[in-house]
Amino acid sequence: MTAPSVAASPTARARSDRRPPGLLSLSLMGIPLTALSLPLVVMIPEHYATVLGLPLAVIGVIFTGVRVFDIVVDPLLGAAMDRTRSRWGRYRPWLIFGAPALMLAVYLLFMARPGVGPLYLLATLTAAFLGWSILSLAQLALASGLATSYDERSRVYAWLQFASLLGILTVMGFPILLSKLGETGLEPTRLMGWIIILLMAPAVALAAWRVPEAAAATQRHIVGLREYLAVVGRKAVFRIAAIDLLFGLGFGTASAMLVFFITAAKGLDRSAVGVVLIAQVVTAMITVPAVAWLARRLDKHFVLGISGVLAAVVSVVFVFLPDGNLLAASLGMMGWGLSFGAFNLLPRAMMADAGDELRLDSGSDQTGVLYALLISSWKLGGALAVGLSFAALALVGYKPALMAANTPEAISGLEMVFAGPSAVLFLLGAWLAFTYPLTRDKHAAIRTALDARDARAAQEGAGQ
C-alpha cells in the first residue's frame, strides 16, 4: 500500500498542459446536470416529506425502486449508445434528444403542488433520473475520447468535476442570493427547478456543437447478459464500480439526513443547510486542481484511497462539533469537501483506463456500457442511502415533521445513523482503492500496445 514513484515524462506533462478541443464546452454541461443531482438526493426527499406530506417510508421505497430500475436501464442505454451510428457520432444525438425530456421531467418534479401522491413522485422521479442518465452518460463517454494518456485523463475529468461543482454552487447559492435581494415569490425547491431548466438548453446545445467525436470503428458489441456480466466481472471494472457504490452510499446516507441533522441535531435554522453545502462545494472546487495534480504524481487509486480515509475521519468528528454553531458545521462540511471532488473525478478517469484494457483484450470499445455501470453504481448508492437512512430514522424514533417533538434518544439516534454508516462505507471504499490493480505503469503498457495495433490497422486500411 505504497505510493508509486513513477513520474510522468516531460512529453506527457507537456501534452497534459494542452486543453483538448471541446473540453470547456463539454465541462459546462456539468453545471445543470450536477445542479440537478444534489437537490434530487438532498432536497426532493425532504420536500416531498415535510411540504407535500408523503410518508417517509413511501418516499424511501420509491427512491430505492427507481435507482434499482436504473441498474437495468443504464447498461441498456450504454449499449444503445455504443451501437449508435449517425452523421453526428455515437453520443451527440443523445444529447440533443435527451435534453428536452429531462427539462420537462424537472419541471414536473420540482413544481409539484400539495396533493400529489406516490405515483406522481414515482413517474416524475423515474423520468428525471432517466434523462439525467442519458446526458451524463453521453458527457462521460465523450470526455473519455478527448484524452488517452493516464495523466491527461486526470486533467480532463478534473475540468468536468470543477464545472459540476460549480453547478451545485449555482443551484444552492442562487436562492440565498435572491433572498438577500428581495422576495422572489418562489419556494426554494421550485426556484432550484427553474434554475436547472434555464441552464440546461444552452449548455447541452454548446456541447453538441463544439465537442469533437471520432468515428467509431466497426466492431462486435455486447449482445446479451453473459457478455455484459463478463465486462462487469473484469477485475478493474468491478473494483471501480464497487468503490463508486460505497462512496456514493456513504455520501448519500449523510446527504439524505443532512437537513434533519443540521436542524434537529445541531440546532440551526433550515437556511443553514444551504450555507454549509456551499462551504462543502467551495472547498471541493478549490481542492479539485490539487487532486488532479496529485493524481499526476501518484497513482489515481492511491489518491482515491487517501480521500476515503479522510472522509471517514470527518464523518465521526462532525458529530462532536459544537451545537448551534454555524461556523463549526461549515468546517465539518468543508472537511467532507476535501474528499468530495476526488470521489467523483478519479473513478471516472480510472474507468477510461479500464476501457483501454478491455479494448486491448477484446478488441471491443464498450465506453458507453462502462460509464453506464459507473453511473448506475453511484445512483444506486444514493438511492439505497435514502431508503436505508429513512428506515433507520424511523427505527430510532426520529420524526421529520416540521412541528414534531423529538426525544433526546431520537436525536442521538439521528446522529448515530448520520455518521456511523458513512464512516464504515468510506473505509471500505478506501481499502478497495488502495488495492486497485490497474496502476500507472500497467496502463502505460496497455496504451503502447493499443497505439501500435491502431497504427498497424491504419496502415493496412490505407494499403487497401
Look at residue 220 in the predicted model and tell me its pLDDT.
53
**pLDDT at res. 3:** 42
Low-confidence ranges of the chain (pLDDT < 70): 1-21, 42, 171-186, 214-225, 382-383, 400-404, 457-458, 460-464
* Domains identified in the chain and CATH numbers: 23-214+222-445 (1.20.1250.20)
- The answer to whether 150 and 440 are in contact (CB under 8 A) is yes
**Distance linking the first and last C-alpha atoms of the chain:** 50
Q: What are phi and psi of 10, to 5 degrees?
A: -60, -35
* pLDDT at res. 27: 86
- At 310, give phi and psi (nearest 5°): -60, -45
pTM: 0.76
pLDDT at 138: 86
Question: For 383-402, what is each residue's pLDDT tens digit?
Answer: 677 778 878 888 887 776 55
Q: Count the neighbouring beta carbons within 10 Å of the beta carbon of residue 235.
A: 12
pLDDT of residue 429: 93
For CA atoms 245, 358, 367, 21, the dihedral sign is: positive
CA distances from 153 to 128, 147, 235, 259 (A): 29, 6, 20, 35
pLDDT at 218: 47
DSSP 8-state assignment for residue 322:
P
* Cell numbers found for residue 313: 475521519
pLDDT tens digits, 40-87:
776 788 788 888 888 878 888 888 788 778 777 888 888 788 777 777
Find how far residue 54's CA is from the centre of its chain: 27
Backbone φ, ψ for residue 357 (5° rounding): -60, -40
Nearest to 306 by CA among 1, 19, 60: 1
In Å, the largest CA–CA distance within the chain is 79
- The Cα 201–Cα 205 span in angstroms is 6
